[in-house]
DNA sequence: TCTAAGCGGAGATGGCATCTCCGTTCCGGG
DNA sequence: CCCGGAACGGAGATGCCATCTCCGCTTAGA
């Protein structure tokens, strides 16, 4: 194979870890690892990213270990527990989310700013089950996600207020409605994950049309609707397609 | 002779229902119980209805027994297993749902019919977690719920088509979008259960406004939006308020 | 009165996820 | 090249929880 060019994530991961590590914030505190150990550490982080992103936070550390090609013991030697691993893993993604809320506010057109933010959030959650669970379920690093939401809140409020001041959004919308829209869209996406993962775009457009104070035409709904067969398959399997995190009531 | 060219979904309802019933629907088949036994049976059914409706299907039979004031053994003597109990319990509620889909189609105004159906579904699911889980997650009596959905499908299709023919609904809406709307609304309600259980009404109106082909004004959003504090509390707890069925990622 | 139906609930059973332990492997400094 | 100790793997200890069984005691009702 070609000489392995280090992915930016790896280098970046180190920095983020040092900055946000819950226990020892000082990078020097972590002693240099033997080369094989360091390599495994990276493997674990990469595997964890893939597994948690795809299958959600209730994937087991055994899964992560297997996916990384190491033993569970190795995982637990590097990370005190599951929470620590997950928490470290999602830190920069959460930061990116906050940054996007602020970026959207910089958009010249208020309506475009609001819509692009909604789209970004839905897209991000749709593609990252683990991140979604961190932000939308109390679980894992509560302080961390709470802080992220606190930082996002004023940006979203301004986003909504500005669009309303421009008369582009119905006056009775509130900033707290935005997270609900995100939750609803993401849920739709999660249900349809196996069948039509981007069906949420259809409902984003639907909701966007509902957000306007008045309008002459509807923006067309993108992505085909499910066929009745696909719908039946989806409802029979439940969210996540049957194997995923929604498989809650099997007895 | 009956036409053999009938579409499958419109095949004889009652017969299929009887065919799918796991136990004989005839009560006479069940031998007379001693008076105390019969009384306990009723208690169990009532307790199960309350518990599963409120807390969802993953409430344990121990919960049901305790709530009924009997021992678990008594529950298991009357019902072979959890699935049998749940399945029997929700049968008529499912039937009622199907009936409502047909009733909505009898509504004189197409738009009113569609909206009232949406409202009914959201309202029903919001007030009955167990029913929601039966219909939206593959779990428990798959045949039974599948059959219910099969009967609902043509009614919903007609509902949508009729409203479109009258120019009251955007042309690109499809019948399979309706269940998604129900899913999204119910999810919003489930999240906010502890804080503002009927917040879904807000988003029903939002979506309804999105359904129209064009409009001059928005229908006002009922129910106050969440305060930022309520929102934070909700997102910290997760769907169901922390104790419910959404508490999936605690480790 | 007397017997079989009924009862309660402790606990057997099975499953699953987290985390530990220890015999073995293999870096890497001297 | 060699050897001490870091690192490894993964079986299994531990803990939890839900389903369902079993058996000694209770009670309806002929």
CA distance B216 to A112: 21
Chain B, 168 to 207: residues with Cβ < 8 Å from chain A are 170, 172-177, 179-181, 183-185, 187-188, 191-192, 199, 202-203, 205-207
Task: Answer yes or no: do B184 and A179 touch at CB < 8 A.
Answer: no
Position B213 scores a pLDDT of 97
- Identify the domain boundary among B51, B79, B107: B79
Residues in A 37-66 whose C-beta is less than 7 A from nucleic strand D are 37, 39-40
pLDDT tens track for A71-120: 999 999 999 999 999 988 998 899 999 999 999 999 999 999 999 999 99
Could you check: is the Cβ of residue B82 within 7 Å of any atom of nucleic acid strand D?
A: yes
A166 with A226, same domain: the answer is: yes
Report residue A173: phi and psi, to 5°. Answer: -75, 145
Q: Is residue A17 part of a domain?
A: no
pLDDT at B9 over 80: no
CA distance A45 to A67: 11
Q: SS3 letters for B87-118? A: HHHHHHHHHHHHHHHHHHHHCCCHHHHHHHHH
pLDDT tens track for B38-73: 999 999 999 999 999 999 999 999 999 999 999 999
Decide: A193 and A147 in contact? Cβ < 8 Å. no
Decide: B239 and A216 in contact? Cβ < 8 Å. no
Range of the domain at B68: 35-79
B67 with B180, same domain: the answer is: no
- Identify the domain boundary among B45, B79, B113: B79
pLDDT at A27 over 60: no
CB atoms inside a 10 Å sphere around CB B186:
24
CA distance A107 to A109: 6
Position B174 scores a pLDDT of 98
Report residue B13: phi and psi, to 5°. Answer: -70, -55
A102 with A59, same domain: the answer is: no
Query: Highest mean pLDDT: which of A241-250, B26-35, B147-156?
Result: B147-156
B191 with B69, same domain: the answer is: no
Task: State the Cα torsion A39-A41-A44-A49 to the nearest 10°.
Answer: -110
Task: Answer yes or no: do B248 and A248 touch at CB < 8 A.
Answer: yes
- pLDDT class for B246, splitting at 50, 70, 90? very low
Position A140 scores a pLDDT of 66
Domain of residue B44, CATH code: 1.10.10.60
CA distance A36 to A27: 19
Question: How many domains are contained in chain B?
Answer: 2
Under DSSP, the state recorded for B219 is P
Q: Is residue A85 part of a domain?
A: no
A57 with A149, same domain: the answer is: no
């Amino acid at each position: 194979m070609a000489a392995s060019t280090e992915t930016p994530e790896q280098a970046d991961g180190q920095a983020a870890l040092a900055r946000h590590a819950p226990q020892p914030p000082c990078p020097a505190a972590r002693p240099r690892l033997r080369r094989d150990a360091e390599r495994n550490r990276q493997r674990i982080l990469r595997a964890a990213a893939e597994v948690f992103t795809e299958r959600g936070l209730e994937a087991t550390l055994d899964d992560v270990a297997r996916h990384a090609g190491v033993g569970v013991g190795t995982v637990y030697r590097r990370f005190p527990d599951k929470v620590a691993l997950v928490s470290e893993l999602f830190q920069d993604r959460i930061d990116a989310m906050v940054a996007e809320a602020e970026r959207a506010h910089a958009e010249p057109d208020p309506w475009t700013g609001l819509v692009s933010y909604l789209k970004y959030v839905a897209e991000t959650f749709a593609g990252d089950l683990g991140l979604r669970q961190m932000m939308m379920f109390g679980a894992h690093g509560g302080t961390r996600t709470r802080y992220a939401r606190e930082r996002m809140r004023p940006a979203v409020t301004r986003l909504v207020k500005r669009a309303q001041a421009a008369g582009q959004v119905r006056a009775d919308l509130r900033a707290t409605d935005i997270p609900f829209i995100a939750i609803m869209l993401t849920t739709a996406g999660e249900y349809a994950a196996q069948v039509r993962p981007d069906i949420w775009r259809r409902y984003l457009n639907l909701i966007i049309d509902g957000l306007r104070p008045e309008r002459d035409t509807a923006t067309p709904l993108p992505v085909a609707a499910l066929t009745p067969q696909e719908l039946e398959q989806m409802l029979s399997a439940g969210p996540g397609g049957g194997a995923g995190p929604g498989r809650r009531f099997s007895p």
